[in-house]
Structure 1
């Protein structure tokens, strides 16, 4: 039921076009006593969903559709381990819960498709990344952004230790030595001691280390990096950095890493150091997107007028859509003509023009970028770059 936010997440949700679709977003709290109010607020949003569902779809099986939402209200374990927000999406054939590392607006929406804009902003944000913390005896993975860092539960296929990865093929532990000829004390951040026991034994132990790192690299790439599409920062001692990078084929692995041993691992320090690496990339990507819009507008291949964007969307001409974060414009999009029909806010039954555009553009192969309000190139809420 609970899942990470990946590119596949959005692709699967885009396929859910069997109304009614129910969407709840709300900020949550990590600490006590603030988090005790979260299930109460969620219960109130579920009530809003029910009222809107019965109004818009009076023949729908409302009790069945709302049952998993109502069961979540009483899930104490879930509410005791929340992060900064939550997205809960459900329909006739699905129910998904996504704990989020960002605050999101409090929303309860019934529509013909899942409401995706807050989720999209998280999925495509350029400041998200993962950190692989690696030693011979421990593997940990973190995911975060500029503000927060959380440990990720490793896929079962990821080996946690050399013993687990190599099993009976591991060199016996009574053979003294360590990677690159250094003693195990260095993994704790202690002074490195050159191993003894003969070059043959040491060579075999170095080979074991390479084989372990290869297994970790394959599993992390297949089960975490590829599904998420996130940049990967390696946090490890310099000698382990060298070995891992030599054997790695992970396309998401960044050339810069953080030189740190597991014994010195501090999550807040790790977040600060990782954001120093990520911030230039984030700024560069956003500036590149805005420059592309400016150049296209100068060529007559861009617009910030919602009516024009709607018609271009219906004609499959939108290559990239920029949408203002945290903004809603009540109304509907006619998918045949692209005409926009504004409406007055009326609660959970009110559709959002921007979310309608997002869904339609993505279905037609266009890219969507959710941009902070202070970086949007216009005041209309959306801007588009056209294919022709």
Structure 2
């Protein structure tokens, strides 16, 4: 009962027609005893959600809107396998559940659109990546960020080993040649490599590996890399790195990989080594974004004025929108004129301008990036680079 965060998912959410939308966010825990308290916190948020719903929409069918939210309380397995955060979004015509790899604040929101900014803080963060751990006859996929790495339970279309990929076409194990492809010296990465067994049979065994890698590449690209748009880091022995990079068509594969046997790394070591590589890309991306904003601002093609950004968003002029993480700007964006009317956070039914800007920019094909407060180039909470 959970959904992956993909570009298609986000596009579907931001394009929803106006309706009564309920949004719940909360931090969750991986271990007891804290994990046992998560359903209680969730139940309290549902109580708050019901109160807001009654105040803002007294004539709506409250029970029908809240029913799928309340059903989660009875799913014991659901609460056991959560990660660091949870987003539950629902309305008259949709219901989505997103376990998150990052903590989010407790929020119970009722609005005409789902409250997306906390989830976009996770989805649009520049530090997300995936890791492909590959051996001759084994494959695992992980997804994470600077703080955490979790294994992905892959769809059945991804072959887990050569037998799943090739079936009856797999070279029989009784044939001459080393199914590992080279002598043990090669598997250790030693420079003096020599093939074991007859070269003809060994060629067939190596061909099996190539075909297995091609099928893995195609499935990972189709079901994970393209939908998520995340960089993919390859962890494999040097020989397997070379072969996979020869056959891959995955445009998200990073140039730098980790030349080690994945089986030799526990999860924490894999996370540390992966982030050592990915942190460089993360810093480069953020630096490039900030530099681009500075250059564009000098050319009159950027702004940090929330009111100017509102008009540009409605006009479809925004190429890139930077949003400060966890910042809230109370107010209303006029979806026709782009006028931003500021309000007080204490106003009944006050909305967040940033949460209204984000879907409008995405709807018009712009990019939204949520940036940590200490790395934002401005103090206003938002910065936009214009197309024209």
Calculate the TM-score normalised by the size of structure 1. Answer: 0.94
Which residue of 2 is the match for residue 139 of structure 1?
139
8 Å contact kept, 1:128–1:230: yes
SS in 1 for 2:320: strand
Deviations 1:111-158 (A, max 9, x none): 111111121122222211111111122110000111100000111100
8 Å contact kept, 1:183–1:192: no
How far residue 220 of structure 1 moved from its aligned partner, in angstroms, is 0.8
8 Å contact kept, 2:329–2:354: yes
CA distance in 2, matches of 1:107, 1:158: 36
8 Å contact kept, 1:128–1:146: yes
Residue correspondence of structure 1 range 119-268 to structure 2 within 5 A: 119-178=119-178, 181-183=181-183, 196-268=196-268
CA distance in 1, matches of 2:292, 2:196: 59
SS in 1 for 2:150: strand
8 Å contact kept, 1:304–1:382: yes
SS in 1 for 2:277: helix
Distance 1:263 1:55, change over 3 A: same
8 Å contact kept, 1:179–1:209: no
CA distance in 2, matches of 1:176, 1:47: 68
How far residue 193 of structure 1 moved from its aligned partner, in angstroms, is 8.6
SS in 2 for 1:326: coil
How far residue 192 of structure 1 moved from its aligned partner, in angstroms, is 9.7
CA distance in 2, matches of 1:74, 1:192: 59
CA distance in 1, matches of 2:22, 2:221: 33
Which residue of 2 is the match for residue 33 of structure 1?
33
SS in 1 for 2:51: helix
CA distance in 2, matches of 1:178, 1:328: 61
Distance 1:93 1:110, change over 3 A: same
How far residue 87 of structure 1 moved from its aligned partner, in angstroms, is 0.7
CA distance in 1, matches of 2:185, 2:80: 38
Give the number of equivalent residue pairs: 388
Distance 1:355 1:193, change over 3 A: same
Distance 1:179 1:231, change over 3 A: farther
CA distance in 2, matches of 1:347, 1:222: 46
SS in 2 for 1:360: helix
Is there any run of 5+ residues in structure 1 with no aligned partner, and where?
none
CA distance in 2, matches of 1:319, 1:211: 41
The answer on 1:307 being equivalent to 2:307 is: yes
How far residue 194 of structure 1 moved from its aligned partner, in angstroms, is 5.2
Distance 1:181 1:52, change over 3 A: closer
8 Å contact kept, 1:178–1:184: no
CA distance in 2, matches of 1:292, 1:196: 54
Residue correspondence of structure 1 range 291-330 to structure 2 within 5 A: 291-330=291-330
CA distance in 2, matches of 1:359, 1:75: 31
Distance 1:348 1:135, change over 3 A: farther
How far residue 315 of structure 1 moved from its aligned partner, in angstroms, is 2.4
CA distance in 1, matches of 2:211, 2:139: 14
RMSD of the alignment, in Å?
2.2
8 Å contact kept, 2:136–2:180: no
CA distance in 1, matches of 2:150, 2:188: 22
Which residue of 2 is the match for residue 382 of structure 1?
382
How far residue 180 of structure 1 moved from its aligned partner, in angstroms, is 7.7
How far residue 346 of structure 1 moved from its aligned partner, in angstroms, is 4.7
Is there any run of 5+ residues in structure 2 with no aligned partner, and where?
none
How far residue 32 of structure 1 moved from its aligned partner, in angstroms, is 0.5
CA distance in 2, matches of 1:347, 1:173: 72
SS in 2 for 1:258: coil
Calculate the TM-score normalised by the size of structure 2. Answer: 0.94
Which residue of 2 is the match for residue 97 of structure 1?
97
Distance 1:345 1:175, change over 3 A: same
Which residue of 2 is the match for residue 62 of structure 1?
62
8 Å contact kept, 1:322–1:384: yes
8 Å contact kept, 1:189–1:261: no
8 Å contact kept, 2:189–2:238: no
Distance 1:161 1:367, change over 3 A: same
CA distance in 2, matches of 1:188, 1:64: 60
